[in-house]
Amino acid sequence: MNPQEMTTEDLRRALEALRNGVPNRDAVRVLGCGQIQIVDRFRAQLESVPESAKIGRQTRGMLVAGDFGSGKSHLLEYLKHLALEANFVCSTIVISKETPLFDPVKLFATAAEAAMAPNITGDAIEEIAMQLDTSTHRYGEFFRWADSAESGISTLFPATLLLHERLGSDPERSDQIRSFWAGGALPIADVRAGMRQIGLGSTYQLRVTPAKVLPLHRFQFVSRMFQAAGYSGWVLLIDEVELIARYSRLQRAKSYAELARWLGLVESSPNAGLTAVAAITVDFDAKVLGEIGDRERVAPLLERRETDEYRLIASRAETGMREIERGSVHLMPPENESLRETYAVLKRIHADAYQWQPADLPTARTSITRQMRSYVRRWINEWDLQRLYPGESLDTVETELRVDYSESAELEEESDVSVNEQTGDFRS
């Protein structure tokens, strides 16, 4: 992450990202990350993943909280590159209408599409699956786990793993299996035919898996597959969790439960090899759990349904809400020294990017209400205006943006997934 190794194009791309408040790899290389406490904790989190996986446990994740514009997304981008350097596969998931936290189908689809890995340029899951070496001890342990009743996953996974191993000379079948692991459709009839082809037609009882359960099995299978291929594990970076405030209360309740799952707070969590960091606004606790009343109303809402499923969701939702209240790690506000360092770096980068000498700007002192993004954008914008309109009088006006915590029916749609009971083919 050395800015001195960046090209002029890289530097301009970094400034554009910082100007727009949308961090990317180049912006991270330019500014680094001053959240030392969180970075140290994340490094320890990564180090514990392989050992936790050996005993079948998911490494506890981390929830970071900060004001709007405080650098949460920048932090997650920085953590992503730390994870990649530590040989992890990494997926950034931004909670949105297209990717609601309560919907495991869409969550897995986003995680699979966003997955990045060292030395991988295409589809990470499918390319890593092609790297599996069936002669290694890691692969043997992986297959024994998938094939055991203790794994709890659908028999489609050990069956397809066996087919992938035995039918390597059939590229079309192998591609279909890898696509299934990455979230694609795979008719059960095709799996049964493949098992008969290798003389093991009666080895597994293959049944249709409920559409909302299958992605949870995929998370378990894929995270262990990454380790079997030689990677350290799978890191999920979940941004903009505060958007769940705009769901209905029932969907928020499910989201709190899912947050507890991905942060490894669920007892006997099966996602060994996986760990997560999630980011949320710092006032979500007061605004949504407190003022809107979720802390008192979520559990009764779920328990009134009087089913084991909703009792379990209620218990996990309580865990998720408790983590938001008490377990989050807060981003540190910018201090005078960090402001001076950031200003000096940006001035040098702007000079190198546009081959000119930016004028000095007044470096405002820190304020508990002003975020790092505000300082950075003001400096870059004022240098841009000086460069493009030299001699003109400049006046920068800033408007504070606030997070909208009101409910929105548009964000409540779950995956419309149906299952063909004869073929097991999923259609959305």
The pLDDT assigned to 423 comes to: 39
Q: Rounded to an integer, what distance in angstroms lies between the CA atom of residue 228 and that of residue 218?
A: 15
Report, as an integer, the average pLDDT of 28-33.
82
pLDDT tens column, 36-78 = 999 999 999 999 999 999 999 999 999 999 988 788 999 999 9
Strands 426-427 and 418-419: antiparallel
Q: Rounded to an integer, what distance in angstroms lies between the CA atom of residue 143 and that of residue 160?
A: 11
Closest CA to 179 of 423, 428, 426, 420: 426
Q: Rounded to an integer, what distance in angstroms lies between the CA atom of residue 22 and that of residue 92?
A: 13
Q: Rounded to an integer, what distance in angstroms lies between the CA atom of residue 161 and that of residue 125?
A: 14
With 50 as the cut, is the pLDDT of residue 404 above it?
Answer: yes
- Report the half-sphere exposure of 224 (CA within 13 A, side-chain side): 30
Q: Rounded to an integer, what distance in angstroms lies between the CA atom of residue 105 and that of residue 426?
A: 11
Q: Rounded to an integer, what distance in angstroms lies between the CA atom of residue 187 and that of residue 421?
A: 10
pLDDT tens column, 288-324 = 999 999 999 999 999 998 899 999 999 999 999 999 9
Three-state secondary-structure class, residue 236: strand
Report, as an integer, the average pLDDT of 98-111.
96
pLDDT tens column, 150-169 = 999 999 999 999 999 998 77
**Domains in the chain, CATH or no CATH each:** 35-118+231-331 (3.40.50), 128-216 (no CATH)
Mean pLDDT of the chain: 89
pLDDT tens column, 356-393 = 999 888 765 555 456 777 888 888 988 999 899 887 77
Q: What confidence tier does 422 reach under pLDDT thresholds 50, 70, 90?
A: very low
With 90 as the cut, is the pLDDT of residue 198 above it?
Answer: yes
Report, as an integer, the average pLDDT of 227-239.
97
The pLDDT assigned to 364 comes to: 54
Q: What confidence tier does 421 reach under pLDDT thresholds 50, 70, 90?
A: very low
CB-neighbour burial class of residue 210 (10 A; exposed 0-12, middle 13-18, buried 19+): exposed
Higher pLDDT, residue 398 or 195 = 195
CA distances to 115, 152, 261, 304, 305 from 308, in Å: 34, 18, 17, 11, 9
The pLDDT assigned to 418 comes to: 38
pLDDT tens column, 242-286 = 999 999 999 999 999 999 999 999 976 689 999 999 999 999 999
346 phi and psi, to 5 degrees? -65, -40
Report, as an integer, the average pLDDT of 390-399.
70
